[in-house]
Amino acid sequence: MPQSSKVAVFSVDGKKAREIELPKVFFAELEPEIIRRAVLAMQSARKQPKGTKEGAGMKVAEYRGRRNLPFYDRTINIEHARLPRLKNRRTLIAGRVGNVPQAVGGRRAHPPKVEKKIEEKINKKEKKKALISAIAYTKEKEAIAKRHKVPEAIELPIVVEDKFEALKKTKEVLSVLERLGLSGDIAYAKEKTKRRAGKGKARGRKLKKKKSILIITAKEASVYRAARNLIGVDICSVSNLNAELLAPGGMPGRLTIWTESAIKKLDEVVR
């Protein structure tokens, strides 16, 4: 990695207060492929195995193909398809077809199986490397501009003083973002919010929301409650940071705000 450089620290008034040394992790190698692998591994780990119950769809239906049975008991030579039939209407002749996949209420041809491997594994060192690379992407303006509304004059990464963690009102957080020139991305995320098409509306996923700013603090603070109402904004402590937060959907380059203490604590997290 190259030597560290200086980065500006902004006050809650939006003015440049001082400069601090930028940790070397911000100059790590950019590896989008390993970041995507780490994000897919995290997403697949959340999936719950599912499968059908053993014997599902196999009702009490039978196919009696012998010709020497009484007329009402046999299922061949009676101008019916030669399929297993339910004994639910007095005789096999009047019964509905059962068991087979093409029948209503019959078993599925290829049901999901619980033993199917749906989780993608990733080594611990690879996962850590992906996190370091995703952190380095937070200073790459070209990558961030592909998914966010970023002012041309702004310098990345964005670092604010620790007073930001003490904010208690949503309007206070929004006013700080306006002074930093980042309110346009919040408005863009709100504009892109739309109602989901399909059954997901009835399953707790009524809206599709765009990801906006990620706020990283040194520890859990009152700003968590203040920022959670802003659409698309995520907030976490530096110790809980992961590749998926920094690269939603596996695409690196998220607009990120760091507090000064979080920057200083970063070396402890990624070493």
Can you give the pLDDT at residue 192?
Answer: 94
198, 70: one domain: no
Domain count, the chain: 2
37 lies in some domain = no
pLDDT tens by residue, 120-178: 999 999 999 999 999 999 999 999 999 999 998 889 999 999 999 999 999 999 999 99
pLDDT at 114 over 80: yes
Q: DSSP code of 232?
A: T
262, 174: one domain: yes
Burial class (CB in 10 A: 0-12, 13-18, 19+), 188: middle
Here the CATH number for the domain that contains residue 155 is 3.40.1370.10
Q: How many helices (H) and strands (E) does the chain have?
A: 8, 10
Query: Cα dihedral sign for 134, 266, 242, 231?
Result: negative
pLDDT tens by residue, 188-236: 999 999 999 999 999 999 999 999 999 999 999 999 999 999 999 999 9
Question: Is residue 105 within 8 Å of 57, Cβ to Cβ?
Answer: yes
206, 81: one domain: no
Domain boundary among 76, 94, 118: 118
Cis peptide bond upstream of 157, omega within 30:
yes
Domain extent at residue 101 = 48-118
pLDDT, averaged across the chain: 91
pTM: 0.82
76 confidence band (pLDDT: 50, 70, 90): confident
